[in-house]
């Protein structure tokens, strides 16, 4: 009888240990070779490049940059992002510079860094924390004027990244960008057809094996220069399928946001999509004020429908 009671106690204890183990966080982080990597059960999900990454040999070193996401993978390990493509060496996975800025009487380009006018760089980690539900970190980005050898910081960007534990075949990344002027001068983002949060898709995707649909029912053929609450891009990945849903927050400037989407006739069918809040009007940043943009990214294996994407956005926007 004593043996039976002891066995029952042991079983209860083992069950408790098992439950506790299952409730432990599955996400972990590591820093190696200039990249902060968030992993799920040992498998890399998201890489954040905090050290300067130089372009391929023979390419102008002006295309070196830090402060972007790559690689960004699905749970099955399929890479969704691409950097330093030959057609646009200034594309960096998932990144968010401004293309046309009026600062101290000069118009500057922080996006096309090959022009050596300006750039964006990682300037330090502010916080890194982990709970049972997510990993979160904050980084400081500096938007730097290079023209005429100024090396002057014009804008500070505090980027908060929260990566949630995966569910089924997907996981979620929440992004928040808080902008403040770095000097007593205004930072005026001028109307331009592309700037802001951008995604350069994997080289596996071309026109005949991938597709986009937006919250307004637009496709790759007619989405460019429209507005959207969300964009669903998906396609073939090896013998599998997967993709990304980019969601804009209703509190964002110029919501629903204008978008830039490469049509299939451009760049050999390569994939590029961009939320561009200043595509249709300027945005003035004044000193001693904070300006915020928020987005949610959902990375998945398999396929999702427009209805499912809309439900994900409604859940996000209702918070």
Going from the N-terminus, what domains does the chain have, and what CATH number goes with each? 27-317 (2.70.98)
pLDDT exceeds cutoff 70 at 87: yes
Q: Is the CB of residue 201 less than 8 Å from the CB of residue 80?
A: yes
The per-residue pLDDT for range 232-279, each reduced to its tens digit, is: 999 999 999 999 999 999 999 999 999 999 999 999 999 999 999 999
Query: Omega into 148 within 30° of 0, i.e. cis?
Result: no
Q: Is the CA virtual torsion 71, 72, 75, 76 positive or negative? A: negative
Residues 6+ apart with CB under 8 A from 286: 181, 186
3 state DSSP class of 196: coil
Starting at the edge strand found earlier in the chain, the sheet holding 106-108 runs 106-108, 101-103, 187-189, 283-285
The per-residue pLDDT for range 175-228, each reduced to its tens digit, is: 999 999 999 999 999 999 999 999 999 999 999 999 999 999 999 999 999 999
What is the distance between the alpha carbons of residues 281 and 284, in angstroms, rounded to a whole number?
A: 10
Q: Is the CB of residue 144 less than 8 Å from the CB of residue 52?
A: no
The per-residue pLDDT for range 7-43, each reduced to its tens digit, is: 443 333 333 333 333 445 589 999 999 999 999 999 9
pLDDT score, position 25: 59
Model's pTM, two decimal places?
0.91
Average pLDDT in the chain: 93
Q: Is the CA virtual torsion 108, 112, 113, 115 positive or negative? A: negative
Q: Which of 251, 245, 218, 246 is nearest to 302 (CA)?
A: 245
Starting at the edge strand found earlier in the chain, the sheet holding 210-214 runs 118-130, 134-145, 152-164, 170-181, 291-301, 240-248, 230-237, 210-214
pLDDT score, position 104: 98
In the structure, what pLDDT confidence band is assigned to residue 319 with cuts at 50, 70 and 90? confident
Q: Is the CB of residue 97 less than 8 Å from the CB of residue 88?
A: no
In the structure, what pLDDT confidence band is assigned to residue 1 with cuts at 50, 70 and 90? very low
Give the whole-number percent of the chain exceeding pLDDT 90.
91
Q: Is the CB of residue 304 less than 8 Å from the CB of residue 243?
A: yes
| Letter string b/e over residues 5-41, b meaning 16 or more CB atoms within 10 A of that residue's CB | eeeeeeeeeeeeeeeeeeeeeebeeeeeeebbbbbbe
Q: Is the CB of residue 34 less than 8 Å from the CB of residue 51?
A: yes
């Amino acid at each position: 009888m004593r043996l039976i009671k002891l066995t029952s106690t042991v079983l209860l204890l083992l069950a408790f240990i098992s439950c506790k183990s299952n409730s432990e966080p599955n996400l972990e982080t590591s820093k190696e070779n200039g990249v902060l990597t968030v992993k799920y059960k040992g498998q890399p999900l998201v890489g954040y490049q905090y050290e300067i990454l130089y372009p391929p040999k023979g390419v102008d070193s002006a295309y070196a940059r830090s402060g972007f996401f790559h690689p960004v993978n699905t749970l099955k390990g399929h890479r969704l992002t691409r950097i330093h493509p030959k057609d646009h060496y200034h594309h960096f996975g998932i990144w968010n510079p401004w293309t046309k800025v009026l600062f101290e009487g000069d118009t500057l380009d922080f996006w096309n860094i090959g022009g050596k006018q300006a750039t964006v760089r990682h300037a330090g980690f502010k916080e890194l924390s982990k709970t049972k539900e997510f990993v979160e970190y904050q980084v400081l980005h500096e938007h730097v004027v290079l023209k005429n050898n100024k090396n002057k910081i014009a804008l500070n960007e505090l980027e908060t990244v929260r990566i949630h534990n995966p569910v089924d075949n997907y996981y979620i990344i929440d992004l928040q960008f808080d902008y403040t002027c770095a000097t007593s001068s205004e930072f005026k983002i001028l109307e331009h057809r592309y700037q802001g949060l951008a995604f350069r898709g994997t080289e596996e995707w071309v026109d005949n094996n991938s597709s986009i649909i937006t919250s307004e029912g637009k496709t790759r053929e007619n989405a460019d220069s429209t507005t959207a609450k969300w964009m669903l891009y998906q396609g073939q990945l090896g013998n599998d399928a997967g993709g990304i849903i980019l969601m804009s927050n209703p509190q964002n400037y110029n919501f629903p946001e204008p978008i830039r989407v490469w049509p299939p006739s451009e760049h050999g069918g390569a994939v590029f999509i961009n939320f561009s809040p200043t595509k249709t009007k300027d945005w003035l940043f004044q000193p001693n004020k904070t300006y915020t943009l928020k987005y949610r990214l959902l990375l998945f294996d398999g396929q999702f429908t427009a209805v499912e994407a809309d439900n994900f956005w409604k859940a996000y926007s209702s918070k």
